[in-house]
Amino acid sequence: MSDTATRVESSRKSGWRLLIIQIVAILAVLAAVCIWITVAPLSATERGTLAPAALWNSTVQHLSLTFVSGVIVLVIAIPLGVLLTRGPLRKASGPILAIANFGQAAPAIGLVVLLSVFISSGYWASITALVLYAALPVLRNTMLGIRAVDQRLIEAGRGMGMSAAAVLFRVELPLAVPVMLSGVRTALVLLVGTATLAAFVNGGGLGLLITTGVSLYLYSVLIAGAVIVALLALVVDWAGRVVEHVARPKGL
């Protein structure tokens, strides 16, 4: 018995070690990029685009795109996912998932551009597209997580007199948390990547560095943009993993 306990303990510890290595590696690459930007022989235009203030601005914009759409996704997809596991709506969940799955195949770039036809603000057009694009992983994992809860535990809960709501909040959702969180992490990483496409419709963000780099043949700007976006995605992924690690219910 104590054997299991120590094993659990050690797996937790090794989990932390991996997380620390991950963030250290990311920060090291980030530092390297920063140094490269400051010391590389850049032209005036390049230096202007890569000025710290400008970079910071783009990064903040990018994060704003990511998190605003992320919050909207959570607010929509989690309740919807829960709802689709309840009673009569359960039957609708199969078709909805199938449709959502194929919706996922729609190219993100297409969605962003298409929505900008109807929404004049590039920022909100991008946000809408991002929400549509990232809702699926959260929705799917919410449903899968709840459905994966052992039916007998639900019966045990009802059998001891917990109301349906109490079973949902005290048993089903806590047990579904790991699966749901990994869906949220996937969605956020997806959002960081997809938010680069906002640059095409004047939505701002780090994608601007890439498009500028391409259209003006400024390779250093392009590379800096691409690397920073990739690092940002890795940081978000890392943060997601940390949350998952901390929020995982004990005993699982």
Partner 1 sequence: MSDTTTTIEQAPAEVSGRPIRLDDVTKRYPGQTKPAVDGITLEIPAGKVVMFVGPSGCGKTTTLKMINRLIEPTTGRIVLGDEDVTAIDGDELRRRIGYVIQAGGLFPHMTVATNIGLVPKMLGWDKERIAARVDELLELVSLDPDTYRDRYPRELSGGQQQRVGVARALAADPPVLLMDEPFGAVDPITRQRLQDELIRIQDEVQKTMVIVTHDFDEAVKLGDWIVVFEEGARIVQYDTPERILAEPANEFVENFIGSGAGLKQLTLRRVRDVDVASAVTVSPGTSGKDALQKAENAGHGHVVVVDERERPLQWLSRRQLARIETIDAKADPALPVVGSSATLNDALDTMLVSSAGAALVTGRRDRFEGVIDVETVMDAIRDARANAANSEGAPVGMNSGSIGLTPSLVAAGEAAQVAPDAGSDSAAGAAGSTEGTTDTERGAAG
Partner 2 sequence: MWDYISSRLEAIGFSAWQHFSLVAQCLILAVVIAVVIAALVYRRPALASVANSVSAIGLTIPAFALVGLMIAPLGFGVTPAVVTVTFFAVLPVLRNAIVGLGGVDPALVESARGIGMSRMRTFVRVELPLAWPVILGGIRVSAQMIMGIAAVAAYVLGPGLGGFIFSGLSRLGGAGATESIVVGVVGVVLLALVLDLLLVGLGRLTTPRGIRV
**Contacting residues toward partner 1, per CB under 8 A:** 1, 4-5, 8, 152-153, 155-163, 166, 170-171, 174-175, 249-252
Q: Which does 208 bind (CB under 5 to 8 A by kind): partner 1, partner 2, none?
A: none
If binding is defined by CB under 8 A, does position 116 make contact with partner 2? yes
Does residue 215 touch partner 2 according to CB under 8 A?
A: no
Contact 34, 208 (CB under 8 A): no
Tokens 């691409």 found at:
226
Handedness of CA 55, 60, 64, 67 (dihedral sign): positive
* 210 touches 226 (CB < 8 A): yes
Locate 168 and state its tokens.
């949902």
Under 8 Å between Cβ of 186 and 137: yes
- How many other C-beta atoms are found inside a 10 Å radius of the C-beta of residue 229? 22
CB of 199: closest distance to partner 1 in angstroms?
Answer: 43
Residue 149 Cβ vs partner 1, minimum distance, rounded to whole Å? 10
Sign, Cα dihedral of 46, 37, 59, 138: positive
Q: Is 217 left (phi over 0), alpha (psi -120 to 50) or beta?
A: left
Instruction: Identify whether the C-beta of residue 186 lies closer than 8 Å to the C-beta of residue 133.
Output: no
67 binds partner 2 (CB under 8 A): no
Site membership for partner 2, residue 61 (CB under 8 A): no
Choose among partner 2, partner 1, none what residue 223 binds, the Cβ cut-off being 5 to 8 Å by kind: partner 2
Per-residue x/- mask for partner 2, residues 155 to 184, rule CB under 8 A? ------------------------------
Cβ of residue 224: shortest distance to partner 2, in angstroms? Answer: 10
Give yes or no for residue 234 binding partner 2 (CB under 8 A): yes
Residues of this chain that interact with partner 2 (CB under 8 A) are: 101-111, 113-114, 116-117, 189, 192-194, 196-197, 200-201, 207, 210, 213-214, 219, 222-223, 225-227, 229-230, 233-234, 236-237
